[in-house]
Structure 1
Amino acid sequence: MATVLKAEARNMKDSPTALRHAGRIPAVYYGSKTKATSISLAGKDFEKVWRQVGETGVVILATPAGELPALIHDIDRDPVRETIRHADFYVFEEGQRIKLKVPIEFVGVAPAVKDLGGVLIKVLHELEVEAAPKDLPRSLIADISILVDFKSIVTAKEIAIPTGVVLITKPDEVVASVYEPKDEPVEEAPVDLSAIEVEKKGKEAKEGEEGVLDSDAKEAKGAPPAKGEKK
């Protein structure tokens, strides 16, 4: 039996901030044959229902206009507090089939990761399916234990699809694989030969200057005094 969620007509004079301060969440419901209508919900009640059914579970919106079967189509969270700030509901008709993206739940241990040191790559996180609202699964299970080596992959067709649900995502789409890390060679820092050559030339030049100075000093010491100069 679907969960019932009580909704009240929203007074558009009340700002979203004022509603949230009062413990309520502004929301809207709409459908292929239902016009968009603004409502408000008790925040705690909605949080509880959201944890139970997510985006694929059917809820009954108890509105002033009557009870409406719906899916929680979207939510908006505060980026800092992560509290729910707004919710959208999609109202469906009896007998209607719905296309929806269902989250993938990865289970098991991949031998290529555990034994071979590979890195698990989750290529897809959702699969698109079509089903009657009552048949929509909360999630789809991907068993990664079949990833035995670096050539193994999990494709969409290898994920178990419940009865009454049709897979819309292409069957050969890769859902998960394993990456093989490769040891990169350590490159030695290049030696700047020009700098060594310049330094060498500088040293030779300095030694040459010192030799000239020593020679000049010796010549000055052994030279005879100039004419008229006393020793």
Structure 2
Amino acid sequence: MKALPLEAKKRTVTGKRVKNLREAHVLPATIYGKTTKPISIQVEGDTFDRTFQQTGETGLIQLTVDGEKHPVLVKNVQRDPVSGLPVHVEFHQVSLKEKIHAKVPIVFTGESQAVKEKIGTLLQLLSEIEVEALPTDLPEHIEVDVSRLINVNDHMTVKELSMPENVALLTDPEIMVVKIGELLAPEPEPEPAPVEGEVVEGEAAGVEGEEKGTEEKKETPEKPEEPPKKE
């Protein structure tokens, strides 16, 4: 993959004053590397967003800082927990001649016949795999065509993935990537509870019987006591 260009400047603002950069839509960042001391930089927030949308964490970026070029990958993006906007970026400087380990996202394509016929559901069990390659050979993603999964319980493992040339797989090949699970019938909805004051059928009959028996008792006059017989 060809490296995308990104311009940055060395950053002298630190501590609490970094907040002023963010308010001006400027993103604080740092470059790290095996043979490079950390470099504090700043980059235009909108420019970084557009670049990162294309590269993700596996695409190579040609980062130019005050005229000096750095081949880097985005290592980490810290985001505001409320707004979700990036607040700091870590770039990892790499050697174009040295293989690196990276996690590559999996993208599912196609449609399973079992899902189309509504007899199964697609279970995506793995979202990324780890690979080894030169920075210029890292793929943006690995595509998985699920149209080959026809029946319930059909599945694919890591070893069945189609890998690009010059990319070595590091993830356990026996791990399952995707599977067609059985489509469970929806559970019957519980009957609504009776509203307060509402009498359930059956209970009503019992109540009526009780009331009727009570009324009959009230209507039946009591027999007067007979006077004692004289001897």
TM-score by length of 1: 0.80
Letter matched to residue 215 of structure 1: P
Return closer, same or farther for 1:52/1:185 CA change in 2, 3 Å cut-off: closer
Return closer, same or farther for 1:184/1:21 CA change in 2, 3 Å cut-off: closer
**Match for residue 39 of structure 1?**
41
Q: Which deviates the most, 58-67 or 70-79?
A: 58-67
Unaligned runs of 5+ in 1: 190-195, 225-231
Is the Cα–Cα contact under 8 Å of residues 56 and 71 in structure 1 kept in the other structure?
yes
Select which of 87, 105, 108 maps to 1:85.
87
TM-score by length of 2: 0.80
Percent of pairs identical after alignment? 34
Instruction: Indicate the structure (1 or 2) with the bigger Cα radius of gyration.
Output: 1
Q: Distance in 1 between matches of 2:51 and 2:214?
A: 90
Unaligned runs of 5+ in 2: 192-201
**Match for residue 172 of structure 1?**
174
Q: Distance in 1 between matches of 2:226 and 2:142?
A: 105
Deviations 1:170-220 (A, max 9, x none): 11211111111233775998xxxxxx89x969956972684376231xx35
Q: CA deviation at 1:16?
A: 2.6
Q: CA deviation at 1:53?
A: 1.5
Count of aligned pairs: 214
RMSD: 3.1
Is the Cα–Cα contact under 8 Å of residues 119 and 152 in structure 2 kept in the other structure?
no
Is the Cα–Cα contact under 8 Å of residues 8 and 42 in structure 2 kept in the other structure?
yes
Is the Cα–Cα contact under 8 Å of residues 106 and 128 in structure 2 kept in the other structure?
yes
- Judging by fraction of residues, say which structure has more helix: 1
Q: Distance in 2 between matches of 1:63 and 1:41?
A: 9
Q: CA deviation at 1:136?
A: 0.3
Select which of 148, 152, 155 maps to 2:157.
155
Is 1:9 paired with 2:4? no
Q: CA deviation at 1:118?
A: 1.2
